[in-house]
Amino acid sequence: MKPYPVLAYHKISRQWELSFTMMYPRAFTAQMQHLAKKGYKGCSLKEYLAKPEENRFVLTFDDAYESVYHYAAPVLEKLGFHATLFVLNAYIGKDNVWDFRPGDTHSRHMSAAQLLELQEKDWEIASHGERHRVLTGMKDDELKYELEHSKASLEALTGREIPTFCFPFGVYNRRVVDAARQAGYRNLVGFTGASRYGVIPRSVVYRTVDNSRSVLRKIRIRSACHSFENCKEQLFHSFAFFTRIAQKFMH
């Protein structure tokens, strides 16, 4: 499968925290303006798959934080860009108590009203499961619940079909991919790396190492298996392992 130009962001926030994936609004704005200046247009995954034009790239935000609503959405609206939001169904409008939070900092997830407002502006609402747990170790009924309940709830909320699912921590195997397809998802999304089982890989944007130029490289390099950007992302993605370990101790 030809890789798609997909960027993955998390929080866009003014509040510093010990996280590689949070991005300051100023840096995010500069990156988006740079891509617009180079002739690119950000769109949701659903839009891109329906019409994969050369000058388009896909923008995704994991966990649907409220900070994205406050700091990213106005910037994207000005540029005429849209995005896909990966929503944690059990945490809509709530704090991210599921996450490892050094210093006990809290971040709020978008409310139902905020999600619907962005949907009205052509953003795609997609599922990230219920509680941001690794799916691969789950028993069949628990796995089914994460996949199917989040889909049904988000469909009831949005009044639309939810065809897209993003694996928490980008972790998946053949079993959970089959279960996701069985649940009715057509577009499955992971993180950096080669595409396995038809899962769409993405380029994660990191605060500490990325800038407007590297973000441009990420959307231009389609066969990125041996690229510099890809190696960098693999390295940083390995830090997500620590979040998973920390999460295990919290539950």
Least CB distance to Zn ion at residue 170 (A) = 8
- Assess contact for 21 and 10: CB atoms under 8 A: yes
Q: At what angle do helices 212-220 and 228-237 cross, to 10 degrees?
A: 110
The residue among 40 and 202 lying less far from Zn ion, judged by its C-beta, is: 202
User: Minimum CB separation from Zn ion for residue 220, in Å?
Assistant: 25
Q: Please, what is the minimum distance in Å from the beta carbon of residue 140 to Zn ion?
A: 23
How many other CB atoms are found less than 10 A from the CB of residue 145?
15
Residue 229 is a binding residue for Zn ion (CB under 5 A)? no
Contact status: 146 vs Zn ion (CB under 5 A): no
Q: Please report how close the Cβ of residue 72 comes to Zn ion at its closest, in angstroms.
A: 16
What minimum distance in Å lies between the beta carbon of 223 and Zn ion? 26
20-28, 60-68, 92-100, 206-214 -> range binding Zn ion (CB under 5 A): 60-68
Nearer to Zn ion, 63 or 148 (CB): 63
Query: d(Cα 237, Cα 224) in Å, to the nearest integer?
Result: 15
63 binds Zn ion (CB under 5 A): yes
Cα 205 from Cα 118, distance rounded (Å): 22
Given 47, 62, 66, 233, the residue binding Zn ion (CB under 5 A): 62
Nearer to Zn ion among residue 49 and residue 134 (C-beta):
134
- Give the residues across from 189 on adjacent strands: 166, 200
Which spans in 80-220 are helix H? 112-120, 140-158, 174-182, 212-220
Q: Which two tokens stand for residue 188?
A: 């499955």
Distance CA 198, CA 210 (A): 27
Residue whose CB is less far from Zn ion, 47 or 62: 62
Q: Which is nearer to Zn ion, 23 or 40 (CB)?
A: 23
| C-beta of 40 vs 237, nearer to Zn ion | 237
Residue written as tokens 């690229």? 227
CB neighbours (10 Å) of residue 54? 8
Contact stretch for Zn ion (CB under 5 A) within 57-65, 186-194, 220-228, 243-251: 57-65
> Is the Cβ of residue 225 or residue 246 nearer to Zn ion in the bound state?
246
**What is the rounded radius of gyration, in angstroms, for the C-alpha atoms of the chain?**
17
Please choose, out of 59-67, 68-76, 112-120, 230-238, the segment that lies near Zn ion by the rule CB under 5 A.
59-67
User: How many residues lie near Zn ion (CB under 5 A)?
Assistant: 2
C-alpha distances out from residue 145 to 9, 86, 129, 238, 247, Å: 26, 17, 9, 28, 20
Work out how close the CB of 56 gets to Zn ion at its nearest, in angstroms, rounded to a whole number: 24
Q: Which residues bind Zn ion (CB under 5 A)?
A: 62-63
